[in-house]
């Protein structure tokens, strides 16, 4: 292979890489919001944003590997049935290895910083008068009670724009408490209370599904949740039968 | 201990010996069943039938009987027993044990020749993949439409657990078993493994464990996934006792195999075979073996504790008696994450080897390859709690475990650098091994990127426990490891059989499997992103389309695997003859004749350079 065709092929590879990167970035920008459930909380906005950022960051790397592989397949394959002659005996290239290590380390550091920052926002509490909800899982139902009210409900009702603190536990085996529309998930463990926070910011209905295998009817451990306006929520609470 | 090839050739079946020469897989099964029955009878009659744990005690005893009888029946203890009474194996006995002059019957016996063990591992891998694959098809058939139609939920849950465990076992041995045994000793320039009898023991112990695992389905009442999460496993019936004992027995097998691999590579290398001249696959084999030695003891520990909770009423994992399921989860994942790399590393190392040979170039940056594999193994023991981000255990450890997990991108990145760098401007020979290698590269990128999402806690809080995770690790195991394993199979198959794996069928199989993987698991990603949890036996209507796609894709994968199975079987005796070195490679396994004679080398070779000097004569001259 002459130097000029090498240059040409590398140029073609660059174009392939650029095109694949653009495709990856477009997928990254639009696919998460399109496929994932409608966002109903601050945590879910962050979840989708993180998905977008990571996909966009990974796009050029993945595109680089795919572009090279495609080029290898089209330009560097041996034609014919005889044994190919040897390729260039390149064993080391300090520049390439160093660059690769530096770039992959920088990318990792970026992902890590983003992740730690997002983690702090995600799991933190605003501390502003959160509504506490006690969540109890048992085979194969959820129940929700509102401390201070004696109200207990098989469905979850939440007021709009007020932080909720879920205190989650289980009676028999471990269950997984997950609100797909709100980007929050924590296990319900026997004899322990685990806590998560979120702030619902859209009115509407959502599903609560169990994410931890819990036996026979695991697939049917689904409950509805509702985000109401503050007024609706108060009147809902008042209308509920008071259990001791 | 060495024999000359002359002796090996001239001797027919070595004379002497006794009962143990008649032992084989059938006597092992009989032994297992007899002892299992005996132990069952004793337990049944002498244990306290009013005890809460009675049925588990009986089941546990039975499983111990099975494995003891299986070992006795296969003849695992004959040589040590003879040594004990002062009638050590003679040279003729050892040659007989190595399978000399016994034709194909040696594949069904306690045979010590590393090449026989390698072939036995090929068969074992295919059996495990086949059984796990049938369960996968049953699971996907159940999930073709919402609702429970095909199997009842209890049976379905058992399928989930046993499918997972069978596939994990299959992939742990898929590359390291066949090729770690068949080619690694020859690559090192050794006549056999360091401990040939332990080698046979590891294989037959695996067979015994697989027998127990398959029985769990018949005994039934498994209520947990293969991770055997507590306290849910506590509700499982006696199938759980079989499951736990199968794991304990399996870890005996991996420990014995790991020690043997490490000792072989460290002590049996021929003159001049320095560590820096080792074929890169040997590095993969020893790193994976060392990592397995670290990881699998946790597995037998956690299953032993589970079994004790069930039989002796201990309470390691029983929440209302001072135990905790989080302890179980920690111990399990201390094994579980390194285990992924015990599976992955041999496949990756085989692909480095194949990339070099097929692109007619040296491995690019051999040192990066070794450093990457070592780094990955080292990091993998520090990341286990990323499987527990959403359990609520130790939230303050979230940051540190996110750090260690994301660092894994760096050694994994080196794998791509080595592969791509080796292919770079090569003269790539597009044969079956190469084609499956390209499939690996395409799929491993997707596995890697989706792994980055899951390492991030805010994203994991959304994706954990969903089909997204299932799709991610299937891209690792099916998309990457299986493709690497098939590439390795196509590459070394001619050394085993003297014939090529059928190129045409192999290509058909590749396209079916490759397309099947994309359809199956891309759709599964979508199911998970849309909000479908894993281990569901039914689902809401919003998950209909993606599940239908996944099931269709799974059938395509099955078709691809069946074509591959057809190719492996038909090419064994009827394939195109390949000669001793069909890929014109330089490492030692290609320098010996095919079929490889007993004890491999007539004269042990002396090594002066590594096996990657493609094109360097040209440069030098
Ligand atoms: Cu569940
Ligand atoms: Cu892991």
Where does B153-246 show beta strands of DSSP type E? Answer: none
pLDDT band at A150 (very low <50, low <70, confident <90, very high): confident
For residue B103, being part of any structural domain is answered with no
pLDDT band at B151 (very low <50, low <70, confident <90, very high): confident
How far, in Å, CA of B273 to CA of B611, rounded?
A: 10
How far, in Å, CA of B358 to CA of A76, rounded?
A: 11
Strand pairing class (A156-159; A222-228)? parallel
pLDDT band at A121 (very low <50, low <70, confident <90, very high): confident
Judge contact between B610 and B619, C-beta under 8 A.
Answer: no
How far, in Å, CA of B621 to CA of B612, rounded?
A: 17
Specify which residues A228 forms β-bridges with: A159
Closest residue to B428, CB basis, from A44, A78, A222:
A78
Measured in angstroms, how far is the CA atom of residue A63 from the centroid of ligand 2?
Answer: 25
**Edge-to-edge strand ranges of the sheet holding A184-188:** A156-159, A222-228, A204-210, A175-179, A184-188
- The count of residues in chain B is 621
Q: Does the pLDDT value for residue A198 go beyond 60?
A: yes
Interface membership of B225 toward A (CB under 8 Å): yes
Contacts of A66 in chain B (CB under 8 A): 442, 445
Residue B98: exposed, middle, or buried by beta-carbon count in 10 A (0-12, 13-18, 19+)? buried
Q: Tell me the mean pLDDT in the region B588-614.
A: 92
For chain B, what is the radius of gyration of the CA atoms? 24
Tokens 């080792």 appear where? B278
Q: Where are the domains of chain A?
A: 3-75+90-123, 131-239
Query: What pLDDT does B10 receive?
Result: 47
For residue B5, being part of any structural domain is answered with no
- The domain total for chain B is 2
Query: Which CATH number applies to A131-239: 2.60.40.290, 2.40.50.140, 2.60.40.420, 3.10.20.600?
Result: 2.60.40.420
Closest residue to B368, CB basis, from A86, A97, A211:
A97
For the segment B318-330, what is each residue's pLDDT rounded down to a tens digit? Answer: 887 888 889 999 9
Query: What pLDDT does B18 receive?
Result: 66
Whether B423 and B517 share a structural domain: yes
For the segment B375-389, what is each residue's pLDDT rounded down to a tens digit? Answer: 999 999 999 999 999
Judge contact between A189 and B230, C-beta under 8 A.
Answer: no
For residue B621, being part of any structural domain is answered with no
Whether B135 and B76 share a structural domain: no
Domain residues for B37?
25-84
Judge contact between A214 and B468, C-beta under 8 A.
Answer: no
Q: Give the containing element (helix H, strand E) for B614.
A: none
Q: Which residues contact B68 (CB under 8 A, 6 or more apart)?
A: B35, B39
Contacts of B326 in chain A (CB under 8 A): 189
* Nearest ligand to residue A209 Cα: 1
For the segment A39-93, what is each residue's pLDDT rounded down to a tens digit? Answer: 999 999 999 999 999 999 999 999 999 999 999 999 899 988 888 988 888 899 9
For the segment B88-143, what is each residue's pLDDT rounded down to a tens digit? Answer: 888 888 888 888 888 888 999 999 999 999 999 999 999 999 999 999 999 999 99
Whether B221 and B293 share a structural domain: yes
Whether B41 and B156 share a structural domain: no
Measured in angstroms, how far is the CA atom of residue B55 from the centroid of ligand 2?
Answer: 34
Residue B614: exposed, middle, or buried by beta-carbon count in 10 A (0-12, 13-18, 19+)? buried
List the single range of A207-221, B11-25, B297-311, B448-462 with lowest mean pLDDT: B11-25
End-to-end CA distance of chain A: 85
Judge contact between A50 and A109, C-beta under 8 A.
Answer: no
Residues lining ion ligand 2 (Cβ < 5 A) are B 337
Question: Structure tokens of B594?
Answer: 């095919």
For the segment B200-233, what is each residue's pLDDT rounded down to a tens digit? Answer: 999 999 999 999 999 888 887 676 777 777 778 8
Q: Does the pLDDT value for residue A22 go beyond 90?
A: yes
In this structure, what CATH number is given to the domain that contains residue B335?
1.20.210.10
Query: What pLDDT does B620 receive?
Result: 43
Query: What pLDDT does B1 receive?
Result: 36
Query: What pLDDT does B49 receive?
Result: 87
pLDDT band at B28 (very low <50, low <70, confident <90, very high): very high
Average pLDDT of chain B, as a whole number: 92
Measured in angstroms, how far is the CA atom of residue B488 from the centroid of ligand 1?
Answer: 39
Closest residue to A50, CB basis, from B362, B459, B618:
B459
Cβ–Cβ of B231/A87 closer than 8 Å?
no
Interface membership of A107 toward B (CB under 8 Å): yes
pLDDT band at A6 (very low <50, low <70, confident <90, very high): low
Whether B534 and B582 share a structural domain: yes
Residue B1's SS3 state is coil
Interface membership of A82 toward B (CB under 8 Å): no
pLDDT band at B21 (very low <50, low <70, confident <90, very high): confident
């Amino acid at each position: 292979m002459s130097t000029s065709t090498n240059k040409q092929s590398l140029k073609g590879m660059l174009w392939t890489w650029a095109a694949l990167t653009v495709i990856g970035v477009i997928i990254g920008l639009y696919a998460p919001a399109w496929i994932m459930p409608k966002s109903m909380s601050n945590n879910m906005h962050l979840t989708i944003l993180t998905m977008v950022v990571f996909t966009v960051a990974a796009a050029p790397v993945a595109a680089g590997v795919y572009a090279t592989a495609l080029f290898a397949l089209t330009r560097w394959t041996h034609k014919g049935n005889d044994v190919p002659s040897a390729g260039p005996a390149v064993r080391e290239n300090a520049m390439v290895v160093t660059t690769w290590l530096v770039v992959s380390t920088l990318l990792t550091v970026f992902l890590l910083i983003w992740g730690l920052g997002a983690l702090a926002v995600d799991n933190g509490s605003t501390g502003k008068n959160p509504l506490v909800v006690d969540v109890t899982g048992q085979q194969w139902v959820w129940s929700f009670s509102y401390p201070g009210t004696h109200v207990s409900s098989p469905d979850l009702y939440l007021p709009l724009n007020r932080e909720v603190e879920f205190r989650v536990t289980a009676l028999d085996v471990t269950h997984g408490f997950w609100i797909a529309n709100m980007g929050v998930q924590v296990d319900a463990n026997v004899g322990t209370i685990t806590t998560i926070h979120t702030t619902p910011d859209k009115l509407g209905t959502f599903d609560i599904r169990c994410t931890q295998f819990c036996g026979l009817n695991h697939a049917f451990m689904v409950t509805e949740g509702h985000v109401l306006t503050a007024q609706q929520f108060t009147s809902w609470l008042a209308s509920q039968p008071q259990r001791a | 201990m060495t024999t000359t090839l002359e002796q090996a050739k001239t001797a027919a079946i070595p004379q002497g010996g006794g009962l143990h020469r008649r032992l084989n897989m059938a006597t092992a099964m009989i032994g297992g069943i007899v002892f299992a029955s005996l132990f069952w009878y004793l337990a049944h009659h002498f244990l306290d039938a009013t005890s809460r744990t009675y049925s588990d005690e009986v089941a546990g005893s039975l499983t111990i009987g099975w494995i003891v009888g299986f070992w006795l029946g296969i003849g695992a203890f004959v040589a040590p027993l003879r040594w004990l009474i002062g009638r050590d194996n003679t040279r003729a006995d050892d040659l007989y044990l190595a399978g000399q002059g016994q034709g194909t019957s040696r594949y069904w016996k306690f045979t010590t020749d590393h090449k026989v063990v390698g072939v036995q591992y090929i068969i074992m891998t295919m059996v495990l993949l086949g059984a796990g694959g049938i369960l996968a098809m049953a699971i996907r058939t159940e999930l073709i439409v919402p609702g429970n139609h095909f199997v009842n939920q209890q049976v379905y849950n058992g399928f989930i657990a046993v499918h997972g465990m069978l596939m994990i076992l299959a992939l742990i041995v898929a590359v390291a078993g066949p090729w770690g045994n068949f080619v690694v000793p020859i690559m090192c320039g050794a006549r056999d493994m360091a401990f040939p009898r332990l080698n046979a023991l590891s294989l037959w112990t695996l067979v015994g464990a697989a027998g127990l695992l398959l029985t769990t389905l018949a005994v039934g009442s498994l209520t947990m996934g293969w991770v055997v999460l507590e306290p849910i496993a506590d509700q499982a019936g006696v199938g759980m006792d079989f499951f736990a004992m199968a794991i304990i027995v399996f870890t005996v097998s991996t420990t014995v195999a790991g020690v043997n691999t490490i000792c072989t590579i460290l002590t049996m290398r021929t003159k001049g075979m320095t560590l820096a001249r080792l074929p890169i696959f040997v590095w993969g084999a020893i790193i994976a073996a060392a990592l397995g030695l670290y990881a699998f003891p946790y597995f037998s520990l956690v299953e032993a504790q589970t079994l004790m909770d069930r039989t002796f009423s201990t309470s390691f994992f029983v929440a209302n008696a001072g135990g905790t399921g989080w302890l179980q989860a920690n111990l399990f994942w201390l094994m579980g994450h390194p285990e992924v790399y015990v599976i992955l590393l041999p496949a990756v190392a085989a692909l480095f080897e194949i990339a070099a040979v097929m692109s007619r170039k040296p491995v690019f940056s051999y040192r990066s390859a070794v450093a990457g594999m070592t780094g990955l193994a080292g990091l993998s023991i520090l990341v286990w709690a990323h499987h527990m981000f959403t359990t609520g255990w130790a939230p303050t450890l979230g940051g540190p475990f996110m750090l260690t997990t994301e660092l894994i991108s760096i050694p994994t990145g080196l794998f791509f650098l080595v592969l791509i760098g080796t292919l770079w401007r090569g003269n790539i020979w597009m044969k079956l091994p190469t084609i499956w290698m390209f499939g690996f590269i395409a799929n491993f990128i997707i596995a890697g990127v989706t792994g980055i999402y899951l390492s991030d806690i805010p994203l994991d809080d959304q994706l954990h426990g969903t089909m997204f995770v299932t799709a991610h690790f299937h891209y690792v195991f099916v998309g990457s490891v299986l493709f690497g394993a098939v590439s390795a199979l196509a590459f070394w198959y001619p050394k085993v059989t003297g014939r090529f794996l059928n190129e045409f069928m192999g290509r058909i199989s590749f396209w079916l499997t490759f397309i099947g993987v994309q359809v199956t698991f891309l759709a599964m990603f979508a199911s998970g992103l849309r909000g479908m949890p894993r281990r569901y036996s039914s689902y809401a209507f919003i998950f209909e389309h993606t599940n239908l796609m996944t099931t269709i894709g799974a059938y395509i994968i099955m078709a691809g695997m069946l074509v591959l199975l057809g190719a492996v079987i038909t090419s064994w005796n009827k394939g195109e003859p390949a000669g001793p070195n069909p890929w014109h490679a330089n490492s030692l396994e290609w320098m010996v004749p095919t079929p490889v004679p007993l004890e491999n080398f007539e004269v042990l070779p002396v090594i002066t350079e590594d096996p990657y000097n493609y094109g360097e004569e040209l440069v030098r001259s």
